[in-house]
Amino acid sequence: MTLQNDLILRTARGEKTERTPVWLMRQAGRILPEYRAVRDKVKDFIELATTPELAAEVTLQPVDILGVDAAIIFSDILVIPEAMGLPYEMIEKRGPYFPETVKSLADVNKLRIADAQADLGYVLEAIKIVKRALNGRMPLIGFAGAPWTIFAYMVEGSGSKTFSKAKRMLYTEPVLSHQLLQKITDSTIQYLKGQITAGADLVQLFDSWAGILSPEQYRSFALPYISQICDAIPEVPKTVFAKDAWFARQELAQLNCETIGLDWTMDPIESRKIIGNGKTLQGNLDPCVLYASYEGIRRETGKMLQAFGPHRHIANLGHGLYPDIEPDKVRCFIDAVKEFRFIP
């Protein structure tokens, strides 16, 4: 099926487009009253994410309400550990919690390589529902967590400022760490291929905790596994978003992906010089700009767009939306992107 709005796909492939496309990380969710109404129907976040009809409903909400150029499937990066045999809970206002964590080789051996259909069929079903509902209006983005970020949660057991347990394992048990990272990588490849078969038009890897590793550790324990995933998925454009990994932009540029996501600490002009013209860049407005006045949002959005330039840029935030940002402010950002005209 030919897409009516294929701006993001054309931009990812490096084609010239009539305007800069825009979507938002965490657009499906917390800022929208419509999302909260659906969320109130279920006991917790995990039930919402694992009920295909409801996950599809909240995926579609921002398409009409906010006017974005792509939908992104409503899910969670931690479905992968669950599918591998390490279940988690989502504690309200605290985040994810793993009752059991990976501590030893025996724990790694107990884990299975996730099967997309058998273990994660609810995500694939949600993708199919969304694709039918979109009916070719725009692309659907699939996603997964990058292996190091998933590893960090599986070893630490929850979010953390330091992830010192996970990092300790890298230093004290490097062989074991690589075994776990490989299992996560194999599971993630299967999962993303399943998403693509179900209908995802492009996919994004979120390396949310990239920035807590040293450059040397990132080269050893993160990049090789991201590279494996990129190489294994030729079917659709791929985006790699490694938060706070400003030190790895040169290496990220070498990956077999079309788009590199930037957080708000990475200057667009400097990043383009480092990464080169062979990749599309995505980002990178500070989400806190959306607390500013409407005039302030339009001004900062214009500065960002001008810095990236008219080609090979997908407008987004430098991280996900925060729950207390007003939907009208988000719409202001999206409209500002659509209305912007570049100054030669």
Active-site annotation holds for 39: yes
In sequence order, the 6+-apart residues with CB closer than 8 A to the CB of 286 are 264, 300, 317, 318
> Which segments within 162-288 are labelled E, that is strand?
202-207, 238-242, 259-261, 280-285
Q: Which of 13, 19, 39, 137 is catalytic?
A: 39
Q: Which residues pair with 72 in a beta bridge?
A: 141
Verify whether residue 76 is a known catalytic residue. yes
DSSP state of 64: H
Active site residue 153: yes
Residue 109 CB partners (closer than 8 Å, separation 6+): none
**Catalytic pick among 10, 13, 19, 30:** 30
Detail the DSSP E strand segments found in the chain.
71-72, 89-91, 95-97, 140-145, 202-207, 238-242, 259-261, 280-285, 313-317
Instruction: Give, in order, the Cα–Cα distances in Å from 316 to each of 19, 55, 124, 160, 308.
Output: 14, 22, 25, 26, 12
Of the listed 6, 69, 76, 207, which one is catalytic?
76
Exactly one of 6, 26, 191, 298 is catalytic; which is it? 26
Q: Is 26 a catalytic residue?
A: yes
- Measure the CA–CA gap between 264 and 328, rounded to whole angstroms: 21
Determine whether 132 is an active site residue. no
N residues, the chain: 344
Q: Which residues are catalytic?
A: 26, 30, 39, 76, 153
